[in-house]
A and B are shown apart, each in its own frame.
Chain A
Amino acid sequence: MTAPVPPDPTMTSAAARAEPTLAGQDFSVDTESLTGSDVIRNYLQRFQRGGDLGLFPALLALSLLTVLFGVLRPESFLSKFNFGNYFTQAAPICVLAMGVTFVLLLGEIDLGAGYSAGVCAAILASRLKADVPLPVALLMAFAAALVMGALVGFMVAKIGVPSFIVTLSTFLSWQGILLLITRDGGTIKIENKAIVAIENKNLSVGVGWTMFVVFAAGYIGFSLLRVLSRRRQNVATTPLSIVALKSAVLVIVGGIAVHQLSAKRGNNLRGVPIVVPLVIGLMIILSFVLGRTAWGRHLYAVGGNTEAARRAGINVARMKMSAFIVGSLMSCIAGIVLASRLNSVDPQTGGNDTLLIAIGAAVIGGTSLFGGRGRIVNAVLGGLVFALINNGLPLLKKIHGIDFSAAGPKFIVNGLILLLFASIDATSRRRAAAN
């Protein structure tokens, strides 16, 4: 007397006496695979009817900004040196945005994430200065991140203080700790070669291309395996033509990037920056965790409907704790990247607009502040958009008397871009709701 019985002949009679069927054939959509043109048509329909536009707005912004800056300042913006520089500028934003995404997915916020990056970086730097071996110093930085994340998670999940308030308080407190470690405004220089190399050294040309081949082959291989396995088990799947299209775009764009980075771009400077495979690796691992594990599924569930998640037996408090801890550990990595970029840690590391740009990056990529919606790749693309703006604007220098390399115009443009993206998303969703 088990409840879910497979369809049997007696049940068709039950269906026959039933009311007229209201929709098409049983699950035809699930078993008949779409063709490539169907998928593209469905996607294009979303622009008319509204809905989740996915990565499109961020990709469009990247292309438009590249063209804009490229036309206005071809000699500086399009230089190979600037291209390499761009990736090292984008890396810390992308890493921090990935971490913040976990917290945003729950509908929570972490205002202290920027300064917790600073604190971790300062711990690392001060320990290295005190001649603590690198692995031990790293361990201490990550342990601090774990404690900070667990503390915020505990306050939010167990005590029930809204995350905005908790992290407003940690925003202040972490800043204070950072000041204490840097001894009221001092700068701790980092001389450890490995840490400095992350943002300042490049892979050799050979290793760069090998990495490219590994990532490309991995992507194509996994996509193909997934499609073939689903097809064999007779469930609907992405058409091969779409997989081929995505792979081709990725290989071409990635190939051009690696080719450009492999060319000599300065005094003895060539190759893919070391931080690039680090960011891509983190992106793959975290996407995998969110998309393919029960933990990731539960994170979306808690963000979507906390009560439903609780009734389904999910330990909501534990999910919140773990999301804040993961976010904090990512902050630590972002802090290390920031420290590497400047060769030093000071009271501004992870401060100023660092955190808000990271949250903005996640939002630009399509992550909702209300929880339940967003992906890791969105955060990375959003980070790339912000980095592109902040890379290109200073190169514009003076146009019609406005000095775009100054901080004022930079902040205004960043603010406007964020507003523009949020409006596009809201409009698209409103249209979807109306249909």
Chain B
Amino acid sequence: MNQIKIHEASEVSRTNMSEPVIDNPGTRTPLLELRGVNKTFGAVQVLHGVDLTVYPGEVVALVGDNGAGKTTLVKSITGIYTADSGEFFFNGAPSHIKSPKDASDLGIEVVYQDLALCDNLDVVGNMFLGREKLRNGLLDEVAMERLARETLAGLNVRTVKTVRQQVSGLSGGQRQTVAIAKAVLWNSKLVILDEPTAALGVAQTSQVLRLVRELADQGLGVVLISHNMNDVLEVADRVACLYLGRMAAIVDAKTSSREQIVELITSGRSAGIGLAHAEHVQI
């Protein structure tokens, strides 16, 4: 469950000019590996041969401008869309995800931007919604309450005072926390977070980022979609930059600058990294 050093891998990417960069798998098996994923909607090709790897214990930030294909990529991973072509490996084994249920069976959970919490239920009710623990056909409140508390405590969450509180009474950061805890409650292995800090203040953002780091430190793979470069550089191990449906580069967050990532997002290449002829890329 310790943090994994994978940063050397992306050094490779700095010399690799001509095609989207993937890091060297080395001896470790990636949790998630996508190879050459294509997706078209009618005449529009939204994803062009996208490669992506996520290792257990790391946070991969997925960045890109509006329309770069972040959402489509995530929806292809979670089974809401089916990719036209491309290979998909989970824990090293080829997988076919055709529905959201396939994804959650594999251990892939998504925390959507709008959180999908029921304000009128308490924290326990929300965390177990649709998967309530039953005993003799009735709700086993005690077991659920304990498991909810253990999960939150295991994530070092200290901001939710009681799991019996209605969600309507929680702050934005606390709600995000509950939504994330709900995602990890189910032995999930890969958690995808869609803009988790978009609507949060400074203190709450840092709470949530700490939680994101904690997930990775516990051995989960985390994909973080974000527009906020501060968040990305603070919490991510690697940054995957999408540019017009192509994976421009996957760079090491520790050695990359904010300007470099912004350049990759806006023009697809930056100082020798990225797409070879980004200016000629057709949508």
Contacts and interface: CB of A to CB of B under 8 A. Distances in A.
Interface of A: 1-7, 10-11, 14-15, 18-19, 21-24, 26-30, 229-230, 233, 235-236, 292-294, 297-298, 300-301, 303-305, 307-309, 311-314, 372-373
A21 B158 contact: yes
Contact of A304 (B118, B188, B207, B217): B118
Nearest to A302: B118
Contact of A313 (B130, B139, B210, B220): B130
A302 to B, nearest CB: 9
B131 A311 contact: no
Contact of A309 (B129, B139, B150, B215): B129
Contacts of A293: 137-139
A83 to B, nearest CB: 37
A416 B86 CA distance: 67
A23 B158 contact: yes
Contacts of A24: 161
B210 A18 contact: yes
A294 B137 CA distance: 8
Given A3-B187, A10-B1, A301-B125, 15 more contacts: A1-B1, A3-B186, A3-B215, A6-B150, A6-B153, A19-B206, A26-B153, A27-B152, A29-B164, A30-B164, A236-B162, A297-B125, A297-B139, A300-B125, A373-B120
Nearest to B186: A3
Nearest to B185: A4
Identify which of A300, A304, A314 gathers the most chain B CB atoms within 10 Å of its CB.
A304
A15 B218 CA distance: 13
B117 A22 contact: no
B200 interface: no
Contact of B154 (A4, A22, A28): A4
Interface stretch (B44-52, B59-67, B141-149, B223-231): B141-149
B130 A312 contact: yes
Contacts of A311: 112, 116
B217 to A, nearest CB: 6
B142 A230 contact: yes
A352 to B, nearest CB: 33
Interface residue SS majority, chain B: loop
Given A11-B154, A23-B159, A300-B118, A235 B147 contact: no
B129 A314 contact: yes
B134 interface: yes
Nearest to B155: A4
B56 interface: yes
B271 interface: no
B24 interface: no
A341 B149 CA distance: 52
B206 A27 contact: no
A432 to B, nearest CB: 9
Contacts of B203: 19, 22
Contact of A4 (B115, B134, B150): B150
8 tightest A-B contacts by CB? A312-B130, A304-B120, A304-B118, A372-B120, A29-B162, A308-B116, A3-B184, A4-B151
Contacts, number: 144
B37 to A, nearest CB: 24
B156 A294 contact: no
Contacts of B184: 3-4
Given A22-B203, A26-B158, A29-B161, A7 B142 contact: no
Contacts of A301: 118, 121, 125, 129-130
A5 B214 CA distance: 12
Nearest to A313: B130
Contact of B130 (A1, A300, A309): A309
B194 to A, nearest CB: 13
Nearest to B206: A19
Nearest to A312: B130
A26 B162 CA distance: 8
Interface string B99-112: 00100000000001
A307 B121 contact: no
A30 B146 CA distance: 10
A22 B118 contact: no
Given A297-B139, A305-B116, A312 B145 contact: no
B120 A14 contact: no
Interface string B58-85: 0000000000000000000000000000
Contacts of B132: 294, 297
Nearest to B189: A1
B121 A27 contact: no
A73 to B, nearest CB: 42
A229 B142 CA distance: 9
Given A18-B210, A314-B129, A3 B137 contact: no
A22 B117 CA distance: 22
B172 interface: no
Identify which of A1, A5, A23, A372 gathers the most chain B CB atoms within 10 Å of its CB.
A1
Contacts of A3: 151, 184-189, 215, 218, 220
